Structures are given as structure tokens and as C-alpha cells.
Amino acid sequence: MDLLKNRILQDGKCFEGGILKVDSFINHQMDPILMKAIGEEFARLFADCGVNKIMTIEASGIAPAIMAGYYMNLPVVFAKKKTPKTMENILMTKVRSFTKNREYEVIISKDFLTPDDRVLFIDDFLAYGNAALGILDLIRQAGATLVGMGFIIEKAFQEGRKDLEQTNVRVESLAIVDDLSAGKITLR
Ligand code: 5GP
């Protein structure tokens, strides 16, 4: 996706510890034209996988997931990082956050993830793969099936893809960062 790659090179910023800041167009301020193109590309890549639900995790996965859901004409559900007091019937897992360096609980209602679901998981970043593996755990607890995972940006040097591919799931990333050292963004 040239539109995305050019934007990363133009507006992305490297931070210590292998963090790429893209908060002027993905993580804080958002570019709907770019997000629309991202949703369209995910829809094209996963068109023939028999997906019936898109799943993501709040907050930054919601925008690309809703755009993909729009193009695929599918419902979108997001896993929550805080449990609402009124919520019953939940599935819970724990995820280690790479950017915040702590563990947090992620939940989803059993009402919206069921054994009938064939799920496409969409998120903003693939780093070490912890968030994605947490989602896979929720999908397994629900008896649902994970058919694919789509990421806007994959940081290949953090090797999350390795663990995900061991689960035999299809992994697609729209831009792959090979290196962020010395303050320079190197895309594949
Ligand atoms: P993982 O669980 O794959 O290690 O990390 C995925 C999550 O951490 C993503 O959902 C994203 O929110 C956050 N993350 C990981 N690396 C980066 C990064 O370089 N930049 C930003 N903005 N978020 C990141």
C-alpha cells in the first residue's frame, strides 16, 4: 500500500526502544481517507476466507476494523480493556503491553463472540504479538474460529509474526518496518 508507506515515511517518528509514533494519522489524530483505503485493502485481502465477524481491540484497532467491516459488510466487535460494571457473561484474558510495559485484562461479551463466528482480527500494530495472542485466547475460549489477522503496520524486527504463524493463521500486514534504529524508518 503505497499511500500508507509514503505516509509512514513522511510523518512517522522513531522513538527509543523500537517504537514508531504515527499519532498524526493513526493513533491520535486520524486520517479518514487513509483509513478508508486501509479498510478497502483488508477487505480485498480477506475476501475469500469465509469471515463473518471482524474483531479488534480498543482503542486504535477500532478505526481500521470499522472501515474493513464497512467494505466487507460484516459486524465489528472490539475487546475492551476495562470491564463495565453492568457486563455479565464475559470472557477474559491477560495481555502484556509492549508500549506501556505492564499486563492488563482484556474482555469480551459471550453475546458477541460465539462458536458460529469465523473471525478476522484487525489491529494497528503487530510488534511482539501479545495482543493478537490474547485475542486468539478469547476466540478459543468462545469456541469461535480465527481465520486471519490483519495489521496496518508490522515491526518485523520484534518477531510477533513467528508466534502467530505457528498457530497456522494467515497474517497480513499493509506495511512492514524492517528497522527503526538510528532514528531512520526502513520499510520493506
Ligand atoms: P504486541 O502485542 O504485538 O507486542 O503490540 C501490539 C500493540 O502495542 C498494538 O495494538 C499497539 O497499540 C501497541 N504498539 C506496539 N508497538 C507499537 C509502536 O511502535 N507504535 C505504536 N504507536 N503502538 C505500538
| Three-state secondary structure readout of the chain | CHHHHHHHHHHCEEECCCEEECCCCCCCCCCHHHHHHHHHHHHHHCCCCCCCEEEEECCCCHHHHHHHHHHHCCCEEEEECCCCCCCCCEEEEEEEECCCCEEEEEEEEHHHCCCCCEEEEEEEEECCCHHHHHHHHHHHHHCCEEEEEEEEEEEHHHCHHHHHHCCCCEEEEEEEEEECHHHCCEEC
Residue nearest (by alpha carbon) to ligand 1 atom 22: 21
Please give the tally of structural domains in the chain. Answer: 1
Is pTM beyond 0.85 here? yes
Is the Cβ atom of 131 under 6 angstroms away from ligand 1? yes
Residue nearest (by alpha carbon) to ligand 1 atom 9: 125
How far is ligand 1, taken at its centre, from the CA of residue 62, in Å?
14
Shortest-distance atom of ligand 1 to CA 180: 19
Query: What is residue 99's predicted lDDT score, i.e. its pLDDT?
Result: 77
23-53 per-position pLDDT tens digit: 999 999 999 999 999 999 999 999 999 999 9
Kindly tell me the sign of the dihedral angle through the C-alpha atoms of 10, 14, 18, 22.
negative
**Whole-number Å distance between alpha carbons of 186 and 188:** 7
**CB count, 10 Å around CB of 82?**
11
Cell numbers for 187, please give them: 520499510
- We report the CATH number of the domain holding residue 164 as 3.40.50.2020
Question: pLDDT category, 15, cuts 50, 70, 90?
Answer: very high
**Whole-number Å distance between alpha carbons of 86 and 68:** 29
For 164, the domain range is 2-187
Cell numbers for 169, please give them: 493463521
57-113 per-position pLDDT tens digit: 999 999 999 999 999 999 999 999 988 888 889 999 999 987 788 999 999 999 999
Cell numbers for 29, please give them: 489524530
